[in-house]
Structure 1
Amino acid sequence: MRLVLTADTHLPKRARELPAPLWTAIEAADVVLHAGDWVDEALLDEMTARSRRLIGVYGNNDGPALRARLPEVARADLDGLRIAVVHETGPRTAREQRCAARFPDVDLLVFGHSHIPWDTEAPGGLRLLNPGSPTDRRAQPHATYQTAEIQAGRLTSVELHRLPRR
C-alpha cells in the first residue's frame, strides 16, 4: 500500500497551488494523509477528487468550514498498521514520550504544524512522521512531503521528497 503524507499546505496563503510532483504522487497513492492547515476548502475538495482515499484532519489555521468537515484526530487501520493523524503534538522536547502516552494503541502517528520534517520512534515502537510543508518551507532548506509503503501491517519504507524552489 502506497501512502502520501502532507501537511501545512496553507493554500492560497502560501502558494496558489500544490507543486506538480506532489499532485502526481497523490494520484498514484492508495492513501493520502493530510495533517492539517489546509486553509482553503477548495483544496480539500480537489484532493478528495484526485485521490483514491484521503484521511485528513484540521489544523490551527483552518476555519469553521474545514473544522465542520474534518476531525481533530483521525484514526485508521491500513493493512493492519494502526495509524493516527493529528495536526499539533506540542513542543519537540519529549514529543516521543508524550505522543506514545496519548496514542498507546497506534503504530504510526502523522502530524504537522511545525513545517519541519520529522521521523523518529518513541519508546514502545510508535513511529512519528511529519512531512514538513510542500508550500511553506519556513527555515527549512526545501519544501517537502513524504511517501511511505505498508506491507502486511508493517511500515516498510519512508522517503522524504524535496520539492524544487519556486
Structure 2
Amino acid sequence: MKIIVLADTHMPRMSKKLPEALRSGLKGAGLIIHAGDWRTADLYYELQQYGRVEGVSGNVDGPDIKQLVPEKKLLIIEGFKIGIVHGHGKRLTTEKRALAAFDGEKPDVIVFGHSHIPSLSYTDETLLFNPGSPTDKRRQPRYSYGVITIGEELKAEHIFFDSKE
C-alpha cells in the first residue's frame, strides 16, 4: 500500500493549489495522511478526490477542520500502528511532543508536522516521520511530502521538489 503523507499545507494562504509534484504523487495512493495545519476544510475535500483521507488538526486549523478530524489519531493499517499528531505545544521539541502523545501506545510510526522540517529517525523501535511541507518550506532548501510504503515491512521516504506550482 502506498500512503502519501502531508503536513503544514497552510492552504490557501501559502498556495492556492496543490503543487504538480504532489498531485502527481497522489495518483494511486491507497491512503492520504495529513498531520495538521491544513488551514481550511477545502483541502480535506480536495484530497478525497485522490483517495481515503485520514488526518489530525494543527494549531492554525479552524473549527471546520476540527469538526472533521481529531487532534490525535492511531490507525492500524495492514497490521502496522500509525500514530498521527501535529506536534505543537509548549515545552520540549516538536519530535518529543509527538512521542509523548503516544506514550504507552507503541506505534510503529508516528507521523507529525508543525516544524516544516522533513525528518526521518528512529527512537527505540518507533519511526518518527515528518514529511515537511509541500507549500511552505520556510528555511528548508526544497518543498517536500512523504511516502510510506507498506508491504512485509513499513518503509518511509521523502519526496523533494523545487516548485510549489
Give the C-alpha shift of residue 27 in structure 1: 2.4
TM-score (norm 1): 0.89
Q: TM-score, normalised by structure 2?
A: 0.89
Q: 1:68 to 1:21 in 2, by over 3 A?
A: same
Structure 1 counterpart of 2:82 = 83
Residue correspondences, number = 162
CA distance in 1, matches of 2:41, 2:94: 33
1:83-113 Cα deviation digits (max 9, x unpaired): 1111016543872894486253311100000
Distance in structure 1 (CA, Å) of the matches to 2:104 and 2:64 = 27
Q: Show the counterpart of 1:158.
A: 156
Q: Deviations over 1:131-160 (max 9, x none)?
A: 0000000010011001121113x31x3221
Q: 1:139 to 1:75 in 2, by over 3 A?
A: same
Q: 2:134 and 2:120 mapped to 1: Cα distance?
A: 17
Does the alignment pair 1:64 with 2:63?
yes
Distance change >3 Å, CA 86–CA 98, structure 1 → 2: closer
Identity rate of aligned residues, in percent?
36
Residues 100 and 122 in structure 1, CA contact (< 8 A), matched pair in contact too: no
Q: Write the letter of the residue equivalent to 2:159.
A: H
In the alignment, the residues of structure 2 paired with residue 149 and residue 72 of structure 1 have an alpha-carbon distance, to the nearest angstrom, of 24
Worse-superposed segment, 109-118 or 88-97: 88-97
Write the letter of the residue equivalent to 1:32. Answer: I
In 2, Cα distance between the equivalents of 1:62 and 1:84?
19
Q: Give the equivalent residue in structure 2 for 1:115.
A: 116
The verdict on how the C-alpha distance between 1:130 and 1:13 changes in structure 2, with shifts beyond 3 A counting, is same
Aligned to 1:140: 140
Range that drifts further, 41-50 or 109-118: 41-50
1:137 alignment partner, SS class: coil
Q: Contact conserved, 2:85 with 2:101, CA < 8 A, in 1?
A: no
Secondary structure, aligned partner of 1:28: coil
Corresponding letter in the other structure for 2:11: L
Indicate conservation of the 8 Å contact 1:144/1:162, yes or no: yes
Residue 130 of structure 2 aligns with which residue? 130
Partners of 1:7 and 1:94 in 2: CA distance: 14
In 2: Cα distance, 1:68 partner to 1:100 partner:
20
